[in-house]
Amino acid sequence: MSRPFDAIVIGAGIMGCSTAYELARRGLKVAVLERAHIGAGSTGRSSAIIRQHYSNEITARMALYSLRVFQHFDDAVGGECGFRMTGFLVLVPARDVDGLRMNVELQQKVGIRTEIIPPEAAKEYMPGLYVADLVAAAYEPEAGYADPNLTVNSYAAAARRHGAKIFQDEPVKGIRLGEDGIVRVESKRERWEAPIVVNTAGPWAARIAHMVGVDVPINPCRVQVAFFRRPPGHEAPHPVVADFINATYFRDETGGQTLVGLIDPAEADNVVDPDDYKEQVDPDFILDVGEKLSRRYPAMEHSESTGGYAALYAITPDWHPVVDELVPGSGFYICAGFSGHGFKLGPAVGVMMADRVLGEDDPLFDAHFFRLRRYEEGEPVRGAYEYSIAG
């Protein structure tokens, strides 16, 4: 006997839990099937930076919508997300300053609070920052970061309050598309069926799509982050910084630490088995990002390394997600491939997915932009002006 639901969501990361919440609050009977536990994938290890700096209108709008949810999380979703507003600085090389201006204009048009600032002003937001190599920077006062585990668990709790059931340690093993419009799912312990099934399995999403014979260009790629304890006199929280000159991003972390990662398109080459990859940080990585961080924030020469970890991005050819019905008319959808920047979009993605699967005439965010066919149509997502992988 199969257990019937109105919708089944595969994977309890930010995308799965936000989608489950939006579907459940619209009255659907929802089941979430999770391989391990809530937040076990990319979400639980996310740097969880929340900024609106995007180079195309739809993702900028989604980021802004999501920021408002993070800012008023208890009212919007319920519970806590641990949002800390620190501000966000974007530092680009001289060749990208015109592009920076164009992107900031685009962001201002959609209502994002952001501005171009002279290099010296960046030091007002982050004393001690090295700015001699800058011509201009951009600043977003409302940006910050959240606690990704708190956020995803609050979404899961909110979905449950609306009647959704979340089954952990319940990996999906097989999927069959029916001619009767019902999708049948087999997991570790049970069989399930629903007219709507959403694959939000992040780095595992291509494997799930393969269960119905569809190839999706989403690669699980190993990425790393490292932590450094700031020296005495530098304990105060600092803004998030995207430093495109040194190809790093960094943000404040609890305990007077700074979290650092790379902004590097070559991370797309580190394709790994998502069930078997090295989760420890490489010593070389710590040395590399430590040096780059010290170039931008020289006080960090006296910082103490406090470790790090490796985790997975789900990377697509254009670093933007695939949101689509995998086989037209089947009821089997995918919402995955958010590369290194999905967490901050999570609240908007749940709304976009719910609108998409329920066939809303006037969706808040049009998922067509993220259709799978865009790659074969030669229309990958491109920003008006991109530096590296800003999105």
Ligand X SMILES: Cc1cc2nc3c(=O)[nH]c(=O)nc-3n(C[C@H](O)[C@H](O)[C@H](O)COP(=O)(O)OP(=O)(O)OC[C@H]3O[C@@H](n4cnc5c(N)ncnc54)[C@H](O)[C@@H]3O)c2cc1C
Closer by beta carbon to ligand X, 59 or else 303: 59
Cα separation, 212 vs 232, whole angstroms: 56
Q: Select 138 or 223, whichever has its Cβ closest to ligand X.
A: 223
Q: Cα separation of 176 and 183, whole Å?
A: 6
Nearest distance from C-beta of residue 313 to ligand X, angstroms: 5
The residues binding ligand X (CB under 6 A) are 10-16, 33-36, 40-43, 45-49, 171-172, 200-204, 208, 223, 225, 261, 311-313, 336, 338, 340-344
Using the minimum distance from each CB to ligand X, give the nearer residue, 174 or 298.
Answer: 174
Comparison of 46 and 153: residue with beta carbon closer to ligand X: 46
**Nearest to residue 22, comparing CAs of 165, 161, 159?**
159
Please say whether the beta carbons of 53 and 219 come within 8 A: no
The residue among 100 and 172 lying less far from ligand X, judged by its C-beta, is 172
Given the complex with ligand X, which of 32 and 122 has the nearer CB atom?
32
Cβ-based nearer residue to ligand X, 28 or 152 = 152
Pairing label, strands 304-315, 165-167: unpaired
Find the shortest distance in angstroms from Cβ 339 to ligand X.
6
> What's the closest the beta carbon of residue 129 comes to ligand X, in angstroms?
20
Q: How far is CA 48 from CA 43, 211, 276, in A?
A: 8, 30, 24
**Backbone torsions φ then ψ of 182, nearest 5 degrees:** -110, 135
> Considering the complex, what minimum distance in angstroms separates the CB of residue 80 from ligand X?
18
**Residue 48 beta carbon to ligand X: minimum distance, rounded to whole angstroms:** 5
**Closest approach of ligand X to the CB of residue 47, in Å:** 3
Least separation in angstroms between residue 192's CB and ligand X is 11
